[in-house]
Structure 1
Amino acid sequence: MKSPLDTALSQQKLLVLDGAMATELEKAGVDTANELWSATALLAEPEKITAVHQAYFAAGAQIATTNTYQANLPAFIKQGMSSADAQQLFKQAVQCAQLAAANFENDLLIAGSVGPYGAYLADGSEYTGAYRQTQTAYQSFHYPRMAALATAGVDLFAFETQPNFAEVKALIDLLAVKFPQMTAWVSFSIKDEKHLCDGTSLVKAAQYAAQFSQITAIGINCTALENVEPALLRLQAATNKPLIVYPNNGDRYDPQTKKWQSNPQAASFSDLVPKWIAAGAKIIGGCCRTNPDDIHEIATVVDANRKK
């Protein structure tokens, strides 16, 4: 199955993804210190989401991920909303990205963010994968969000920050059964360069995902900068699918305190991105704590490498 991502890669060779949403919303005054995290802005300040998307596009991003990573039906219902109202919020997240993209002439993609069940738990489980549900339970959890994102017109899904192999298998099955015309990338949450957070071999997980034509790219995100290059080399040996990476900016996160510690000694994207491209990365962006300046830095390196 040829996806919008495949088409874009055939034209551009390399693609730039956006960066962190919550970091920029917090700068804009949105209180994300709750179970909804960055999805809080959907309730009352969607224009701030649009502004963040626009800033990333202006910085050189060609793909926006919707602000739905931690948006899910159970969480919205806990806030007192009806199912119908929650569905509308998912669609509004897509509209925020679409509004931002409309301000630019070049072709831009919108990926519907599908975060893991662990994000709903809001206890750092996306960094451990230490939760267990049945396949049916995972699919029941993810289906309403995916249905709304598809209806609202995302170009593909982003199964991102996935720490749990059983959940990834459930998502891929759900994609095949309920969304046969859609594609997705799978981006794993890893505890080191060799393993998903739940201990599954990264190579094993990548090889499994690569079997499916609807999976259009495979990679890692929300990880330390130093994990990227060695993980890419393993992924490159495991699959011929395009590889996607979007790590954190080098700061350190403590899931217990839910606070970040800055790391002024972190390597720069200008230094690292050429190594990632050499190791097989085709789609590169940023995750936690990255900002439009980081994405501009990445885009500058990517643009130079397209011309080689």
Structure 2
Amino acid sequence: MVPYPTTGPLVLDGGLATELARRGFDLSDALWSAGVLADAPEAIEAVHREYFEAGADVAITASYQASFEGFAARGYSHDETVRLLRQSVALAQAARAHVLTHARVAPRTLWVAASVGPYGATLHDGSEYRGDYGLDEQALVDFHRPRIEALLGARPDWLACETLPSLLEARAIVRVLREHPDARAWITFTCRDGASTSGGDAIAECARILDAEPQVMAMGVNCVDPVLVAPLVRAMAAATDKPIVVYSNSGEVWNAVARCWEGTATRFTTYLDGWIAAGASWIGGCCRTTPDDIRVVRARLDTA
């Protein structure tokens, strides 16, 4: 793992699946954007390039919903799944090399974060927004271990352990991290309100516990309604000096039965000043956000 930034703002990318859908890919499959890893990897690399060119410092890989169980259901072997997981990292690394080589971004350091999605993402029932898996911590350790090992084998700069609904799952991931002392990760939660994770944990307590973990380099929230972000950030910032990460969705709600987004979208960029004032410094977008949003984030953080 390379040294990671400890001060200053950082711009994350936006919705990967959103851009793939805009380019005509059908993401209704249970693998979601991870299915494109096998079918059209060049499209994923192109989206990473677009986000870097829009001003992102960090590309988050297309491994969020990739799992050994999910790929096995599509007929892929264990070794083939390892290859696809590592390919997700390689595609982001290739995009970074391309834009740097062709001088298509302002001179700056670009990073690749390997996405580690929650167990609930493999269930296809929206439980990553509830946390009601019925699994204990050891079962979650056993689920996350092989995927994290495969991703680390591709040498990302760090892991983006994201959309976690509970402190229980965060604890499980930390246990896996300890098996890889050189690994670093950010951990971000989904939340039910301005004070609690989706599973009901106090977000301030999550921050306090993760602050004591040296391999957790940053923490925050993602795929939450932008309206909820500022109080969540304030609560976390009061419990840690580590960077606070925010990448919200558009404010719409995922209907896991109909497999579509519902509700009214809002441009999360209108909330940026409040998030920065609350203590957020690593900011990007999640579902239903675009490269245009990231251009706005870049411009705002450049003046922060």
TM tier, smaller: over 0.9
Aligned to 2:286: 287
Identity rate, percent = 40
Q: How many residues align?
A: 297
**Equivalent residues of 2:92, 2:112 under 8 A apart:** yes
Quote how far apart the aligned CAs of 1:135 are.
Answer: 2.6
Quote how far apart the aligned CAs of 1:35 are.
Answer: 1.1
Separation (CA, whole Å) in 2 of partners of 1:238 and 1:146:
27
TM normalised by structure 2 equals: 0.94
Comparing both structures, which one devotes a greater share of its residues to helix? 1
Q: Select which of 42, 45, 49 maps to 2:40.
A: 45
Separation (CA, whole Å) in 1 of partners of 2:248 and 2:268:
12
* Amino acid paired to 1:278: A
Separation (CA, whole Å) in 2 of partners of 1:158 and 1:4:
15
Q: Select which of 124, 147, 150 maps to 2:149.
A: 147
Quote how far apart the aligned CAs of 1:204 are.
Answer: 1.2
Quote how far apart the aligned CAs of 1:102 are.
Answer: 0.4
Change (3 A) 1:67 1:267: closer
**Equivalent residues of 2:211, 2:240 under 8 A apart:** yes
Quote how far apart the aligned CAs of 1:29 are.
Answer: 1.9
Quote how far apart the aligned CAs of 1:186 are.
Answer: 0.6
Separation (CA, whole Å) in 2 of partners of 1:256 and 1:227:
24
Aligned to 1:225: 226
Matches within 5 A, 1:93-172: 93-105=88-100, 106-172=108-174
Separation (CA, whole Å) in 2 of partners of 1:221 and 1:243:
11
Secondary structure of the residue aligned to 2:303 is helix
Secondary structure of the residue aligned to 1:290 is coil
Secondary structure of the residue aligned to 1:58 is helix
* Amino acid paired to 1:241: K
**Equivalent residues of 1:3, 1:216 under 8 A apart:** no
Aligned to 1:67: 62
Aligned to 1:304: 303
Secondary structure of the residue aligned to 2:285 is coil
Answer with 248-257 or 116-125: which moved more.
248-257
Separation (CA, whole Å) in 1 of partners of 2:166 and 2:274:
28
* Amino acid paired to 2:236: L
Q: Select which of 6, 9, 21 maps to 2:16.
A: 21
Separation (CA, whole Å) in 1 of partners of 2:11 and 2:112:
12
1:86 aligned onto 2:81: yes
**Equivalent residues of 1:73, 1:141 under 8 A apart:** no
Secondary structure of the residue aligned to 2:281 is strand
Note the residue ranges of structure 2 that are not aligned, 5 or more in a row.
101-107
Separation (CA, whole Å) in 2 of partners of 1:95 and 1:261:
33
TM normalised by structure 1 equals: 0.93
**Equivalent residues of 1:110, 1:156 under 8 A apart:** yes
The alignment's C-alpha RMSD in Å is: 1.5
Quote how far apart the aligned CAs of 1:256 are.
Answer: 3.5
Separation (CA, whole Å) in 2 of partners of 1:231 and 1:211:
19
Superposed CA deviations along residues 107-143 of structure 1, whole A, max 9, x for unmatched, are 2111110000000111100110111223332122112
